[in-house]
Amino acid sequence: MGKAFAVVLTLITLISIALFVMHTWWLPPDISTTGPAVDHQLEETLIGTGVLFLAGQLMLGCFAWMASDKTPAKKNRAFPGGATPLVTAAILLVGIEIFTLTFVGSKVWGAIYLAPADPGALKIDVQAEQFAFYFRYPGPDGKFGAVHPEKIDDGSGNYFGLDPANDVAARDDIVAASLVVPVNHPVALTLHSKDVGHSFYVRELRVQQDFVPGLDIPLNFTATQTGKYEIVCTQLCGLGHYNMKAYLEVMSEADFEQWLKAQAGQ
Amino acid sequence: MGIDIHPAVNSGPPLIPRELSAGLGSPGSGLAKPERSETGVWIGIFAIVMSFAAFTSAMIVRQGVTPDWRHFALPPILYVNTLTLLVSSITLAWANRQLASVGPQLLGARDRARQSYSDGMNWLYGTLALGVLFVVGQVLAWRSLVSQGLFLSTNPSSSFFYVFTGMHGLHVLGGIAGLVYMICKLARTNGTARTTGLRAMSVYWHFMDGLWIYLLVLLMVRT
Amino acid sequence: MHDVSATQVTDEHKAPTGFIRKYVFSLDHKVIGKQYFGLALVAVFVGMVLSWLLRIHLAYPTWPIPLLGKFSAAGAPGGVMTPEYYLSLLTMHGTLMVFFVLTNAPFAAFGNYFLPIQIGAEDMAFPRFNMMSFWTTFAAFVVMMASFFVADGPPISGWTAYAPLSAVGGDAGPGLAMGQNLWAISIALFCVASLLGALNFIATTLDLRTKGMSLARMPYSTWAWFVTSVIALLAFAVLLPACILLILDRVGGTSFFIPAGLILSDKLQPHSGGSPLLWQHLFWFFGHPEVYIAILPSIGIIATILPVFVRKPLLGPRALIGSMVAIAFLSYMVWGHHMFVSGMNPFSANLFSVPTLIITIPATILTLLLTASIYGGRMRFDTPALFCLGFISVFISGGISGFYLAQPSLDTYLHATYFVVAHFHFVMAVASLFGVFAGTYFWFPKMFGRMMNETLGKVHFWLTFLGVYCVFMPMHYLGLVGNVRRYSAFVDDYLAPLIPVHKFITIAALLTGAAQLIFFWNLIWSRFRGPVASVNPWQATSLEWSTTSPPPFDNFGAHHPVVQNGPNEYGVEAPDGTDYVMQMAPREGV
């Protein structure tokens, strides 16, 4: 029985690892300035933990195989060296791995979440609600109009609760259902929610950030490739959660200006 | 695979009859057997401290996150209640002293034992009355807040006031229930029942005192 | 000495005679342990059926499930569940499994039954609290199940019940009115029950150890239950206040978790200034230790059972216990790793990441010690032994993925994907359940006086072991692709190509679930038809194997056992010619 266990375990281990190594299912290509570091960190972790996984499972299988030998002459043998070397090895090996991962990883994290927004960044105000995202551009005056929750009225398209009648800055604000950004241009989002918790997740940007009702949360990124990508909600927000999405459209600088004009004209 | 796969051969385990071992049931070492009721109360106190720490941190976070906190003056009756509760601790300590001496005295001085018993019980009744008075006083404090238009949902400051006093009051009611139970038990046995339960209950009661002082200071500083 | 003290123990412990006192409101820890076990079985069955329904819906969204349509005409019109009913069932699956199975089975059920026996006590320190603890848990279960039968079904906010979705009431969606109220009340009751239980476990371990049972001589399972009860005492003491505040937000109009200016169902909500993150902090301060409440008892059970079948002592018992204590200690510093992308200050991510990664050190030590204990042994491959091996394997698999999720820089991609689902199912659910399976096959003879069927047991093991890898390993790949969890359907172009993987998982889940029916059948069959068990069928050393199967009402028949040896005396040359020395066996020269 121990031998059977060893064989089955080895098969499971090898197949699992093979599917990781072959990249049969893998992340979509990255399109952000901070993404490559994330991918690199992921690769490092995959190698480190892959070795641990392989070693752990094979050791288990191997010992189970050996322990199934019950020839009468065979005597029990203790693990050579006892527990101390094992404990030391665990502390050292895992400790080094942790140290490395943290050292490198905290820089990767910092680049995405701690770096201040570029002064020339395109500012976009993002509102999440059950079950849609809306994006607001400040318009030619470069200023966002003030938000009045009590004025929010989805029926008339006033998703942000603007008050153009009394608020000059609000009059030229552009509201869109897609996040359209110019390529290679820093973008500074401000996330806020109208109702419950939501999340902003673009796989290709390697970025995820929750919307927290009552808070304005900054999120910065720079897209490096044009194209159309999904923005999906990853924070359980109610019955339509599975279908809450919008698109990130990364355009050339010229196309973006064109788009912005077309929007302003509406 | 059968019934008795690996038959047990180790037999003849050393057992000692419980009657003989009742006095020596010391875990591991040869120390005196700890009283489980007191251990239990201390563990309970540990959990209660944790709960109120959670409430406190919730209060601090909530007060820091939005500038909508409105301060209000605590109803003065709280200070009277505090005094009531403190005195109840003293009466309970007295009761403990009297009742603890009942058992040993039974062997010799029966009259003195009877006297200690009735004194102790009177102190217990006093404690009970003060405890009930405290709870009534807290309810009056609530009513005083209500008369000022401060309800549970009026402001986070009043919300936390009701939560803290309410949760503490519930725990005091638990203490009162324990006190009633001990009084019944002692009355049934004319004071000969073991007083360890009473000691444990007293620890809890004093802890309710301490907890209340902490809460009072917290509420004075914060609300 | 008081003149009454000599009789105090005996007069508390007369066996009850009436049916109600004996089997329903029993004070006997063994009956209460079985009651917990039974409740966990019911809960795991419901939770498993729910997971089948969820999996079928994910892979075959248009398939009608006629029985489900009959059960809830609104939730599953024509047998096809609505998106909101999917979330309702998801919430119930998570809640039932985490609270009523993973907390109850390895900790409350086995702990109640075996902790007092393993330390040589007649019962728990507070039998009445113990009874209250079970019946409060039972009430919590009834309240939770009642949410299936209220107007718009169970809540849709997930087992984590994030505010404000869980706090604002019916305007946020179906199930969030009455269903969510029942959920919050049930969890609050569960907290009270768990606090009573934990208090009892700690006091019992501290005060009721029999003569000679020093801390160092306690079996590892007892150690694990003891450490777990300390974790549980602190964790549930925080969840309870959180639930109280949630209930007040819902019914008392307060604003602890609900900020100002929320608009739901086109209505401005009458709240102001609350903090949704406060709920997350309180919840995860409980939630992360809860993971260890689920897994530590199973580690203890495995560490106790494994040497019995390897026939040699466990390697490094002190390091093992030290690792468990270290994990318990660290478990209180890591809750923020559930909240890397939650909007909390991103600086704190690293503060939570480091202790999280450090937990892998004691976890690695535990795994290595268990694995190395097998080395050089002559193992008996009975079913409990197989589940021990399986446990180590799935614990490794689940632990490894923790390295990814503990790093904020990777969590930013993997958070809320199936990678997380794979991680916690392996390390918390499957590993913990393997401990429960091992414990059941091992202790069933002691609990019911009959052996379980070995053939069925082995079939159960192989199907389950292969099954869980087929179900949960592919979820890692889904997570890497970026498949978001808690979606009731994969409708967009990006996720649609992953449907074949989901179909594979669904089929594997149905088969693995079916394999559990073998286990249920084995339990029932063996209970009545299994061969009668001897006192010590596995040749184990701990105290429960020194008394009859099942033990008498007071466990050792009006006697206090005296402990002479540690629990680890396997592979020795005993005076009677066997290879083990029981804890109660007299020592030579003593």
pLDDT tens per residue across span C392-415: 999 999 999 999 999 999 999 999
Structure tokens at C464: 């389950």
**B1/C248 touch (CB, cutoff 8 Å), yes or no:** no
Q: Is C428 exposed, middle or buried (0-12, 13-18, 19+ CB in 10 A)?
A: buried
Query: Number of residue pairs across B and C with CB atoms under 8 Å?
Result: 219
Query: In one letter, which amino acid is C203?
Result: A
pTM of this structure: 0.94
pLDDT confidence of residue B34: 64
For A210-240, give the DSSP string: EE-TT--EEEEEEB-S-EEEEEE--S--STT
- Nearest by CB to residue C487, choosing from A108, A213, A241, is A241
If we measure between CA atoms, which residue out of B10, A74, A214 comes closest to residue C375?
A: A74
Query: pLDDT per residue over C192-223, tens digit each?
Result: 999 999 999 999 999 999 999 999 999 999 99
Which of B15, B201, B203 best probes binding to C when mutated, by most C CB atoms within 10 angstroms?
B15
Does A18 contact chain C (CB < 8 Å)? no
Q: Which residues of A218-227 are buried (b: 16+ CB within 10 A; e: fewer)?
A: ebbbbbbebe
Residue C583: pLDDT over 60: yes
Q: What is the mean pLDDT of residues A173-191?
A: 96
Chains that touch B (3 or more CB pairs under 8 A): C
Q: How many whole angstroms separate alpha carbon C56 and alpha carbon C52?
A: 6
Element (H, E) at A230: strand A227-232
| ipTM confidence score | 0.96
Q: Is C556 exposed, middle or buried (0-12, 13-18, 19+ CB in 10 A)?
A: buried
Query: pLDDT per residue over C282-294, tens digit each?
Result: 999 999 999 999 9
**B47/C198 touch (CB, cutoff 8 Å), yes or no:** yes
Which of B11, B43, B163, B196 best probes binding to C when mutated, by most C CB atoms within 10 angstroms?
B43
- Nearest by CB to residue C310, choosing from A67, A102, A108, is A67
pLDDT confidence of residue C177: 94
**C214/B65 touch (CB, cutoff 8 Å), yes or no:** no
User: CA of A117: how far to CAs of A142, A188, A210, C250, in Å?
Assistant: 16, 6, 18, 38
Contact status, residue C461 vs residue C390, Cβ threshold 8 Å: yes
Please name the residue of chain A whose CA is at the shortest distance from the CA of residue C490: A242
Q: Which of A77-81, C86-90, C138-142, C346-350 has the lowest mean pLDDT?
A: A77-81
Interacting residues of A18 by C-beta distance below 8 A, sequence separation 6+ = none
**C4/B28 touch (CB, cutoff 8 Å), yes or no:** no
Q: What is the mean pLDDT of residues C496-520?
A: 96
Helices assigned H by DSSP within C148-275: 178-207, 220-251
Query: pLDDT per residue over C533-561, tens digit each?
Result: 999 999 999 999 999 999 999 899 878 89
Which residue(s) pair with A135 in the sheet? A126, A176
pLDDT confidence of residue B105: 64
Per CB-CB distance under 8 Å, the chain C contacts of B39 are: 125, 202-203, 206-207
- Nearest by CB to residue B10, choosing from C281, C557, C582, is C582
Does A105 contact chain C (CB < 8 Å)? yes
Query: Number of residue pairs across A and C with CB atoms under 8 Å?
Result: 309
In percent, the amount of chain C with pLDDT more than 90 equals 88
Contact status, residue C522 vs residue C562, Cβ threshold 8 Å: no
**C403/A48 touch (CB, cutoff 8 Å), yes or no:** yes
Residue A30 DSSP code:
P
Residue C518: pLDDT over 90: yes
Helices assigned H by DSSP within C311-336: 317-330
Highest mean pLDDT among B25-29, C305-309, C377-381 belongs to C305-309
Band the pLDDT of B188: cuts 50, 70, 90: confident
Does C379 contact chain A (CB < 8 Å)? yes
pLDDT confidence of residue B29: 39
Residues 126-145 on B with a CB inside 8 Å of C are none
Band the pLDDT of C17: cuts 50, 70, 90: confident
Q: How many whole angstroms separate alpha carbon C171 and alpha carbon C323?
A: 47
- Nearest by CB to residue C409, choosing from A19, A27, A38, is A38
**C199/B156 touch (CB, cutoff 8 Å), yes or no:** no
**B153/C253 touch (CB, cutoff 8 Å), yes or no:** yes
Contact status, residue B10 vs residue C585, Cβ threshold 8 Å: yes
Q: What is the mean pLDDT of residues C475-480?
A: 96
If we measure between CA atoms, which residue out of C354, C509, C196, C166 comes closest to residue A95?
A: C354
φ, ψ (nearest 5 deg) of residue C211: -60, 130
**B106/C3 touch (CB, cutoff 8 Å), yes or no:** yes
Band the pLDDT of B100: cuts 50, 70, 90: confident
Residue B12: pLDDT over 60: no
Query: pLDDT per residue over A136-150, tens digit each?
Result: 999 888 899 998 888
